[in-house]
Structure 1
């Protein structure tokens, strides 16, 4: 009974892990990069690199942003102000305009230097780190609802694979200290065990909390039972700030900002503000929404105050004193996204995410190697094995190459290109597609070898490309104390080094294999003939 149980758990772990492993690798890969999405957005926008640390008070910044929006877009249906932070040094001001019937409203984003309060010149259109963040759960070029269902199923498969992996691991702590390189499949097994066990708490946490972020899509019945409008009613109750406010035909000259902010600062003087949103600033339906900054608190949604824009009266608040259920739910989402994390913790998240990628990749490779080793000399590989090997190379080597292509596109595409941000994303997927097509032709070690060298070259040249297309480089970043930008160049070089070492190791294996093949009896007979 015990033997059959472990055998069934092994079967479950193998097939649940294999069936969606390439989608899981994409989710883990994009999610890992997303822990630095604001830093990527900063790197992708060279025009803001010269902004020094903000020295203005938040009240001054908000007043300046509101005055700028009143001059630049008085007829917009929404104003949006995002205050500077260490990860986003600029003052962000955006305005939304109503388009024709059946068309989505158009957002126009602008940036102000928080020290001079003047517009930043030379901004380019880019999705920045938000591309990887959305790719993590929306998968891009796909219906959003379908994509999220796929991500849910993949996460469920991942959770089952983790739990079944724990069950079948008889020597879970011993394997943590065991690694046998140059041992073929055993080396991949050790890499799989090491990356799994070393970051096991993170893997369990990130998978389970990932499911929690979409829990009401998986289990809508509680909300549909408690609320007459179902999920719509639940969201109206839980997210009051997201409810649509209808415009009025009565015009107003300038909203009552002074009265609203005076009341706010008198009652919550120590509260830092994350953003300010003004709905319908030019008519009597105007509302002023203030979002507090959570800092490092384990919360996802921000505390919220809503004021009447005509009288400055406080209309409603949300999440100032959240319930235990709100704290638990929001805390799980905050832990998953890493929004609470300071730089050191964010790097720990990143390292554990890389361990997750290694765990998934080593499992895929190990399965293919085991099947190929079991083939007899007269047997040919099945279609399933060829498909797995192709997907392994295309996904594991293609995604890093495509990511480098995304960064190159950001630096090399013309600044005035139409739909420039979309073309950055298109470059990512075209590079990935080219890698997949290349892999269809070369599935053996040559593909791994050549793609490892390709990754090494493109990642090593990224700091050079950055230095040639912007006013900064690794040396100036270090001298100026711009460590976020310097860390990008250092990370690019480190990535290139990892791929170079991998390419050297693969080159040695290819040489050994050629010698073995040439010395085989069959090859000797062919040479004599």
Structure 2
């Protein structure tokens, strides 16, 4: 028991910063789509419910990209209120964002948005993916031991949960968040460990990749279209000019719409792709199935049609996979809360907040118990940098998106650099300030940063979207939390 106690005290302290970083990035990753939208003020007023988006998009492609072989249309949604169209010929590919109501081209801000925070969760250092996967996997094992050791050494854990003695705010917070979130923490850590397993055991076990499972007939049909297009281009090249190029078959909106209207899950379309050649065109519709798992495997939700003949080529709604693949698929969906809708993501977000509070309260509690340690100042610096500085850096990252020049070609990279630079500045600032008010000063700065984030969002009318109202509330609560924390600290 003493060994477990020492492990939880010392190793737990060391990994509390890493664990907090993982909880921080993972928690905000649940709202990465909302953060993406928050950082695109040009999209705030778009009406994603407009049903004319398909007709407008087809007309736009016919007028502006009539010679491109592949057209792809991503419908607008609650999270992405714009239409994303892709046109592709053998030489280039163009991604274009359109207004659903009139197909006018939109100019998005160049930013990684919430995808950057989400990527931090599993790829924070730009290292080799396989090596990083192994490192994260072994770190996850240690974190799992920290969680279990905490349960083992706190004999009165569940009893103390109902007896908040107010002797230590951080002790009570550590107990409450640990008890409330233990099952969820264990689930997230275990599922994350399973997802890292393929890197850790790559020499003796390789998990099959779902993305590599393709239907042979569908693949053959698509390759046939591409080969035919390549032959046409080769003949054109030998002829020495573009006059030899036959006109590609162009389907009408009515041709496409009649197939979509007959789909059972037409309201859950992920992507519409049209592959054209001079004689005909193939329509691929990728939907989000109502039920992900089938009796034999997974539902891919693919429908393939010949637009000229009007015949269905294939429907891919049941792809067999083995039990190992099913478990991996299930673990991934659990880990990213990709089930149950927005309520599930909100609950996972709340438990992520509990995880951050558990890590931070445990580390601060250590400094309270061992306030005579010669490493106390440095530990407080790390506490402040991770537990407060990460939020401040995130706020700077958000603000940079609104204040950097739109003409700056490297503005997305600049935002990322500002995130890490501000985190380093916080680290230096914490070294320089007095030990007594190290948390309070950092918290006050962070509170002011997020207050500005909220004000900027309101000035751009972010409140027009319900999912952005949630982000405004979250950012405001962050500002209030750190503001109250700093004021209480200054008052003693």
Report if TM-score (shorter chain) is over 0.5: yes
Deviations 1:34-92 (A, max 9, x none): 11111111111111111135131xxx644543453454445667644322222222222
8 Å CA contact 1:45, 1:123 repeated in 2: yes
Q: Residue 512 of structure 1 corresponds to which residue in structure 2?
A: none
Which of 159, 167, 186 aligns to 1:204? It is 186
SS at match of 2:231: coil
Within a 5 Å distance, the mapping from 1:23-422 to structure 2 comes to 23-56=18-51, 61-62=53-54, 64-73=56-65, 79-95=71-87, 108-114=94-100, 116-181=101-166, 183=167, 186-220=168-202, 224=206, 236-237=212-213, 247-248=226-227, 249-251=230-232, 253-254=248-249, 266=262, 268-276=263-271, 278=273, 281=276, 288-294=283-289, 302-306=300-304, 318-320=316-318, 325=323, 327-373=326-372, 375=373, 381-382=374-375, 385-422=376-413
For 1:20, what is the secondary structure of its paired residue? helix
Q: Is the 8 A contact 1:405 1:431 kept in 2?
A: yes
Per the alignment, residue 236 of structure 2 pairs with none
Contact between 1:278 and 1:286, CA under 8 Å: does it hold in 2? no
Distance in structure 2 (CA, Å) of the matches to 1:290 and 1:46: 30
Question: Secondary structure of the residue that 1:174 maps to in structure 2?
Answer: helix
Aligned-pair distance for 1:498? 0.7
Q: What are the Cα deviations for residues 237-277 of structure 1, in whole angstroms up to 9, with x where unaligned?
A: 379899897643134713779878766765x4345443226
Deviations 1:344-363 (A, max 9, x none): 33222111100001111222
Higher relative contact order (CA 8 A, sep 6+): 2
Cα distance in structure 1, aligned partners of 2:387 and 2:143: 17
Quick one: structure 1 residues 14 and 340, their matched pair in 2 at CA, closer, same or farther if it must change by over 3 Å? same
Going from structure 1 to structure 2, the CA distance change for 1:256 and 1:113 (only over 3 Å counts) comes to closer
What corresponds to 1:495 in structure 2?
478
CA deviation after TM superposition for structure 1 residue 235, in Å: 5.2
Question: What aligned pairs does 1:454-469 form with structure 2 within 5 A after superposition?
Answer: 454-468=445-459
Q: Distance in 2 between matches of 1:26 and 1:424?
A: 19
After TM superposition, the score normalised by the length of structure 1 is: 0.76
The Cα offsets for residues 401-453 of structure 1, whole Å up to 9 and x where unpaired, read as: 01111111111112221122222222222211211221233372322111111
CA contact (8 A) 2:299 2:319 kept: no
Task: Answer yes or no: is the 8 Å Cα contact 2:251–2:307 preserved in 1.
Answer: yes
Instruction: Identify unmatched segments of 5+ residues in structure 2.
Output: 233-246
Secondary structure of residue in 2 paired with 1:138: coil
TM-score (norm 2): 0.81
Deviates further, 432-441 or 14-23: 14-23
Aligned-partner Cα distance in 2 for 1:35–1:387: 32
CA-to-partner distance for each residue in 1:262-298, whole Å, 9 max, x for gaps? 66765x4345443226486568998654321246868
Match of 1:18 in 2: 13
RMSD over aligned Cα atoms? 3.7
- CA-to-partner distance for each residue in 1:282-336, whole Å, 9 max, x for gaps? 6899865432124686899853345578977666655536668355432321121
What do residues 477-518 of structure 1 show as CA deviations (whole Å, max 9, x unaligned)? 3xx6x3223333332222111111110122133xxxxxxxxx
Within 2, Cα distance between the matches of 1:151 and 1:89? Answer: 35
Maintained 8 Å contact 2:73/2:271: yes
CA–CA distance in structure 1, aligned partners of residues 123 and 25 of structure 2: 11
